Amino acid sequence: MMTSLPQYDPPSVLEIRDLEFAYGGGAPVIEGCHLAVRSGEVHCLLGCSGGGKTTLLRLIAGLERARAGTIHVGDSLIEGPGVHLPPERRSVGMVFQDFALFPNRSVRENVVFGLRGISRKDRNAQVEAHLDRVGMLEFASRMPHTLSGGQQQRVAIARALVRQPRVMLLDESFSSLDTETRIEVRAETVKLLRDAAVATVMVTHDPAEAEAVGDKVSWLDACCRRGESDPDACARR
Amino acid sequence: MNLRTGEGGRGWVIGSLLACLVVAVPVLVIFSSVFRSSDGEWNHLAETLLPTYASNTGLLAGGVCLVAGIVGVSTAWILTNCRFRGARMLGWAQLLPLSVPAYLSAYAMADLLQFSGPVQGWIRDSFDLQAGDYWFPPIRSLGGAVYVLSFALYPYVYFAARMAFQEQARSMLEAGRLLGRGPFATFWFVALPLARPAIVGGLMLVMMETVADFGAVDHLAVDTFATGIYRTRFALESPVAASQLSAMLLSALFLLVGLEWCLRRRRRYHRTGNRGSRTAGGRLGPVASMFAFAACFVPVLIGFVVPTGRLLQLAIARGDARGGGVLAGIAFDTIWLALAASVIAVLLALVIGYAARLRRGLRTAGPATIARAGYAIPGPVIALGLLVPLGWIDHRINDGWTIAFGDDWRPGLLLTGSVVAMLIGYQTRFLAVSLSFVQSGFQRIHRNIDDAARTLGSGPGRSLVSIHLPLLRRSLLIAGLVVFVDVAKELPMTLMLRPFNFDTLAVRVYELASDERLEEAATAAILIVVIGLIPAWLLVGQLESNDDSHRNTDG
């Protein structure tokens, strides 16, 4: 008689529990939020404007400080009561809506910015490898303003990935691209992030986009702000 | 048909070319002096005082730029990115030192810190010391001048850096943090390089003001080019040697301005992201708040509170004995002179700015560039450059009169002996100021508006009067106010070009302070500070509206 093997359920790389946040002393923007993202998984966050999607990314990145709750990356507690690891020590990468490429640095200089403490040779090798992965090696010496939106997006991805983060945050990173480029760049990016086994949280306002690329989709208004405690209740496949 | 290159703007182009002559003529006169003989005066200067003038001017400009740069950039960064009690108040207070001209600051500081002043007197009394028992940094020295000028001029760097930091997209700095750099490294490697063009612009203003300063360095006994030019003209009575000194100084200044312009062109930064909403960074803890407050308050204390407080104290304690009548007359003369100069400056700027808008090309861009360069020319140099051609015109008028009407009566010095020379001189230096406000006002009006007016049958003149002027009202008012204040504060050029028995508040303060009668000078000095508060108040409004427009509304 054949017995089926139990399905392997990898542990979450990013785990958020009971997170709460408010600007100043105001009403909570995020309340009782739970989220768990595994390695190589893409978790999409949907919600209306002001729903707290970007705020949640900023909390994960360490750019805001939570009022309550915890955030773990792997086994490390990066945010919790009395704990606030600064952004530069979190192993979290982020691609901003406006890409935030440094306009006074070339493509190569942008990507190399995040690499420190290794030899020049290794640094160059890593930069070239990552630019090659996103198809931007031939543009290495160009300045950001000479690139198209899609090309700038690729550079921003390479710059974030070169530090080998365990978690990647995409903040409406495809919204400024035209439809055709968006679909193409989005597919490439998601493939790249899955191949690199990075846990990805992606903010989008487009349900179709969330369905297309997300392994899980959360509707932030409906769950986190209302304070539902069961992660599965606000995450559906 | 391209309306902007149509024939309608020819009159404006000619007007623009004529307007820029107020800057071009003095410069040409100064440079032409290089080919004239000074009867050995130049050789005498080159062997004796020139090395001192050059080294003092260089060290003074370098020292002031260094200190003002550090103070201006650090206060701008703290106040843009940190939240602590009193930060908003300190934000606008940084601009208050602009209301105190450097020479007033020098008078007050020298009065406070000299051997016979209250500070050293208190030290001697408190510790039972005699002269020679202790060391106190001399205020009448190069170091003293660097100290006074740095804290008088750092708001130029503060303002430029603050605007640049406010404009920087928040995501850019956050990307720096997420790429592994700490807060200081993010400031050093991301924010500072991005703000570099603005900071260099602010430093150039500081350098020009330092080199042009006469009153402060004269009082603090530092021989620079500005004092050298004045003394060579009036003590040595050698206008040619003074012009040759001026030519040397102008060459160095133009070289530096040109270099900065080239560097700025080569490293033009293009914005790749959104302007981005900005929040003031995290709220500081109690200890950090205390340090931040102290770092931002000390410059205001030195640049504004101490000098103004001392002058106010002197004005209340003694004041100008002849205050009522004489001071009121001088204040009235200062106000109408400044008013006339500001109206002319705005009109000339309007002509140059509108010509550049109507027609693009060297014929319109050239006058605008020349007019802007006027601000780099120190007051004494302008005065020298004007006295020669205006004197020549005066002589020709008198010669012509004699030929036509005989020798019984002559019109005299119509230009050099009247306020006309002063009004022209103010245009040479301050046209740049009004032009910058007028041009930025024009830039805010979309060019389609011009095209629409032209297609509806309006010529350039009617378009200007009925469309542009109403839209430019605020820019013109600000331009006029800033020139008004600059003229009211101006000292060296006024001193050299004024007719006999004509004083402004600045001249009155200079004369009394030079006679060690600071108590009497204090009343006029406080009036200058009050007038000087106007541009500081205008700049505060600009900073606050810039801050509000970048305030975060992200949910």
Q: Which ipTM did the prediction report?
A: 0.75
A58 → chain B, closest CA residue: B174
pLDDT at B144: 95
Q: Do A119 and A80 share a domain, yes or no?
A: no
Tell me the chain A residues in contact with residue B196 when contact means C-beta distances shorter than 8 Å. Answer: 104
A98 touches chain B (CB under 8 A): yes
Q: Is residue A188 part of a domain?
A: no
State the distance between the two ends of chain A, measured CA to CA, in whole angstroms: 32
pLDDT of residue A236: 43
Q: Tell me if chain A has a CB within 8 Å of the CB of B177.
A: yes
Residue B411 backbone dihedrals phi, psi, to 5 degrees: -65, -20
Instruction: Give me the residue from A50, A145, A159 closest to B272, CB to CB.
Output: A145
The reply to whether residue B276 touches residue A160, judged by beta carbons under 8 angstroms, is no
Q: E strands of B235-319, at which residues?
A: none
- A98 contacts in B (CB within 8 Å)? 169, 171, 272-274, 276
CATH code where residue A19 lies? 3.40.50.300
Same domain? For A152 and A116 the reply is: yes
| pLDDT for the residue numbered B36 | 79
Which of B179, B278, B550 should we substitute to test contact with A (largest number of A Cβ atoms within 10 Å)? B179
Q: How far apart are CA B353 and CA B12, in angstroms?
A: 9
Report the candidate in B134, B90, B89 with the shortest Cα–Cα distance to residue B115. Answer: B134
Write down the pLDDT at residue B422: 92
Q: Is B332 on the interface with A (CB under 8 A)?
A: no
Give the Cα separation of B215 and B492 in Å (integer): 7
For chain A, the domain total comes to 2
Same structural domain for residues A28 and A61? Answer: yes
Which of A104, A139, A164 finishes a domain?
A164
Clarify whether residues A61 and A109 are in a common domain: no
Same domain as A81, residue A27? yes
Q: Which residue of A has its CA nearest to B193?
A: A104
One domain for residues A30 and A53: yes
pLDDT at A3: 54
What's the confidence (pLDDT) of residue B321? 67
Which pLDDT does position A226 carry in this prediction? 43
Q: In this structure, is residue A183 part of a structural domain?
A: no
Smallest Cβ distance to B555: which of A50, A97, A114? A50
Three-class DSSP category at B5: helix
Q: Would you call B164 an interface residue with chain A, using a CB distance cutoff of 8 Å? A: no
Q: Residue A217 pairs with which residues in a beta bridge?
A: A44, A236
| A181 within domain boundaries | no
Amino acid B551: pLDDT: 55
> How many angstroms separate the CA of residue B180 from the nearest CA in chain A?
4
Profile chain B (555 residues) by mean pLDDT over runs of 10 residues. 53 89 86 79 83 94 96 95 90 89 92 91 90 89 96 92 86 89 90 89 89 91 91 82 87 84 65 50 83 95 94 84 76 92 94 88 82 83 87 89 82 82 92 88 84 78 87 87 88 89 89 84 88 80 69 42
* CA-based nearest residue to A72, from A27, A123, A14, A126: A14
Mutation for A interface: B263, B272, B275, most A CBs within 10 A: B272
Residues A84 and A96 placed together within one structural domain of the fold:
no
DSSP 8-state assignment for residue A6: P
Q: Which of B175, B190, B269 lies nearest to residue A96, judging by beta carbons?
A: B175
B41-55: buried (b, 16+ CB within 10 Å) or exposed (e) per residue? bbebbeeebbeebbe
Domain that holds residue A140: 92-164
pLDDT tens, position by position, for chain A (237 residues)? 455 556 666 678 999 999 999 887 778 888 888 999 999 999 999 887 777 888 899 999 988 889 999 999 998 999 999 899 888 888 899 998 888 888 888 999 999 998 888 889 999 999 999 999 888 999 999 999 899 888 998 899 999 999 899 999 999 888 877 788 788 888 888 888 998 899 999 998 888 888 888 899 988 764 454 444 344 444 443
User: What's the pLDDT at A229?
Assistant: 39
| pLDDT attached to residue B552 | 45
- Looking at the structure, do residues A68 and A129 belong to the same domain, yes or no? no
In the DSSP assignment, the letter for residue B466 is I
Q: Give A15-51 pLDDT, tens digit per residue.
A: 999 999 988 777 888 888 899 999 999 999 988 777 7
Q: Do both A45 and A80 map to the same domain?
A: yes
Taking the Cβ of residue B270 and every Cβ of chain A, the question of whether any pair is shorter than 8 Å is answered with: yes
Distance CA B78, CA B69 (A): 14
Kindly state whether A52 is in contact with chain B, defined as any CB-CB distance less than 8 angstroms.
yes
With CB atoms and an 8 Å threshold, state whether B181 touches A88. yes
Q: Per the domain annotation, does A186 fall within a domain?
A: no
Considering only CB atoms, which chain A residues are within 8 Å of B195? none
Using an 8 Å CB-CB cutoff, list chain A residues near B171.
96-98, 100
**pLDDT reported for residue B338:** 93
Cβ of residue A100 closer than 8 Å to a chain B Cβ: yes
Q: Confirm or reject contact between B174 and chain A (CB < 8 A).
A: yes
Give the span between the Cα atoms of A79 and A70, in whole angstroms.
5
